[in-house]
Homo-oligomer: A and B are copies of this chain.
Amino acid sequence: MTQYQDQTHLLVAVDCIIFGFDNEELKLLLIKRDFEPERDKWSLMGGFLRPQETADEAAKRVLHRLTGLQDVYLDQVHTFSAPGRDPVERTVSIAYYALINIEDHNEELSEQHGAKWFSLKEAPKLIFDHEQMVTAAIQKLRYKTSVQPIGFELLPEKFTMRQLQKLYEAILDEELDKRNFVKKINQLDILTKLDEKDMTSSKKGSYLFQFDQSKYEKQASKGFSLKLANQL
């Protein structure tokens, strides 16, 4: 049986672009590298692919190690393979982005890794090609958001319309009209309006909503015909 013995074997890694949302802007969870080269520089959380796992599983593992979270929304973005991208040794890296609720993650764990949230616009320089990865991830997130309603992973279970709107504004980086936004979301018919109100943001209080998986699936099967963003 033919073997592939003469071929070069390479390191394969995953790197995770971890998005969070603080009700104002999109955030990125970055870690401070604690080994050479580039010690103390900021970087994405990553890890090498192990013999018996898929890249998706590796990304999940890496994410769990940093945040303590399971079942995180993950999406493969792009694979980076320039020979010199990691100066230590050639490594092909598969970039993933993750959407997590910023409140949920285990702070102890992430502190152990020297992790910190940065707003997208104030993120520090990153090592290697990690900034390219972030750029590609945002683009993909934006695209996904504009064709299908994702992003609820970034919010608490119960949220107000206002929060959701702020989230979309942060992802798309444009302001949206309050009334039109509510109309669109309601047309999507994937949320349940609760009887509860959130009283922290105003005197009147604002209704809380909840993502409804079964509604979502019903609508998804019809195809989301609704345009959430002005342009892709």
Contacts and interface: CB of A to CB of B under 8 A. Distances in A.
Contact of A1 (B8, B37, B76): B37
Interface residues of A, number: 39
Interface string A27-50: 000000001110000000000111
Interface of A: 1-4, 7-12, 35-37, 48-56, 76, 78-79, 81-83, 88-92, 94, 147, 223, 225, 231-232
B52 A81 contact: no
A49 to B, nearest CB: 7
Closest 3 CB pairs of A and B: A9-B9, A55-B81, A7-B48
Contacts of A92: 12, 49, 55, 92, 94
A42 to B, nearest CB: 18
The secondary-structure label for the interface of chain A is loop
Most buried by B among A81, A82, A92: A81
Given A89-B4, A92-B12, A147 B79 contact: no
Contacts of A232: 147
A83 B52 contact: yes
Nearest to A4: B89
26 contacts: A1-B37, A2-B88, A3-B89, A4-B48, A7-B11, A8-B48, A8-B51, A9-B10, A9-B11, A10-B10, A10-B12, A12-B92, A49-B92, A51-B83, A51-B90, A52-B83, A53-B83, A54-B81, A54-B82, A55-B79, A56-B81, A79-B94, A81-B94, A92-B92, A92-B94, A147-B232
